[in-house]
Structure 1
Amino acid sequence: MTPDLDPQTDLSFTRTLAAPRSLIWECWTDPKHIPHFFVPAPHKVTAVDIDLRVGGRFDTTFEVEGNAMENHGVYLEVVPGEKLVFTDAYTEGWKPAPEPFMTAILLLSDAPGGGTTYTAIARHRNPEARKAHEEMGFLDGWGTVATQLETYARSLMP
């Protein structure tokens, strides 16, 4: 079920990935997989720390053009195999972040032929943050991540 989207503050896309939902879920929830797809190449993930539970951490460090970028977040909702909701508005222990950017919602369902219907939603605190994310290249960036995820997940298939 897709949540109601607010065109003023939400960005989203849906794509069918040619990999089973269980494998897409594993890629998103096992820290060893995150570096293989989570940021558009040539940028890379250099550290991941996941505590997969509501209130647990989802922390990543990226390297972008030689600069380290730390991202600290927390899971708001975890529905195994179906839904992940995480945000940078809080860190572990429900500590408010000084400059939150967005909440991400990932929805997974079975697609015909054994693939996965993959919906990514980015919710922002105001229209200005949404616009900034769109102008940063939300569709291209998150689309690239979805393509990298699909390619990586397929490489894990027997």
Structure 2
Amino acid sequence: MMPDLDPETDLSFTRTLAVPRHLIWECWTKPEHIPHFFVPAPHKVTAVDIDLRVGGRFNTTFEVEGTAMENNGVYLELVEGEKLVFTDTYSEGWKPAADPFMTAILLLADAPGGGTSYTAIARHRNPDTRKTHEDMGFFDGWGTVATQLEAYAKELM
């Protein structure tokens, strides 16, 4: 089910990926898969720590142009194979973040031909944060991640 989107604070796109939904879910929920797609190349993920449960951690470390960037967060909602919601607003133990950026919602559904309808939503606290994310390249960046995810998941078939 698609949540109501607020054009002032939310960014979203939907794409059909030519990979079964169960593989997309596996890629997003198992730490060994995350480094293969989670940030646009040539940037890379150097560490992943997942505790897949509501309130569990979703922590990643990226390397962007030689700089390590930690991103700690928690899962807010998990619907097996269908919906994954995580945020950097809190870290594990519901500790508030000093400067949260967004909440991500991933929606997966079966698509014709055995593929996956893949919707990525980024919710922001205010219009300024949304604009910052859009200007940073939300559509290109998350689109590249979706392309990388599809290519990597095809290798698992």
The TM-score, its normalising length taken from structure 1, stands at 0.99
Question: Letter of the aligned partner of 1:43 in structure 2?
Answer: H
- Corresponding position of 2:60: 60
SS in 1 for 2:150: helix
Q: CA deviation at 1:4?
A: 0.2
SS in 2 for 1:104: strand
SS in 2 for 1:153: helix
Q: Let me know the Cα RMSD of the aligned residues.
A: 0.2
Gaps of 5+ in 1: none
- Corresponding position of 2:88: 88
Aligned residues: 157
Q: CA deviation at 1:136?
A: 0.2
Query: C-alpha distance in 1, partners of 2:85/2:155?
Result: 26
Equivalences for residues 89-128 of structure 1 within 5 A: 89-128=89-128
- Corresponding position of 2:69: 69
**Residue by residue, what CA displacement relative to the aligned partner does 1:111-149 show, whole Å, maximum 9, x if unpaired?**
000000000000000000000000000000000000000
- Corresponding position of 1:151: 151
Question: Letter of the aligned partner of 2:120 in structure 1?
Answer: A
Query: C-alpha distance in 2, partners of 1:18/1:73?
Result: 29
**Residue by residue, what CA displacement relative to the aligned partner does 1:73-122 show, whole Å, maximum 9, x if unpaired?**
00000001000000000000000000000000000000000000000000
Stretches (4+) displaced over 6 A: none
The TM-score, its normalising length taken from structure 2, stands at 1.00
**Residue by residue, what CA displacement relative to the aligned partner does 1:43-86 show, whole Å, maximum 9, x if unpaired?**
00000000000000000000000000000000000001000000
Question: Letter of the aligned partner of 2:23 in structure 1?
Answer: L
Percent of aligned pairs sharing the same letter: 84
Gaps of 5+ in 2: none
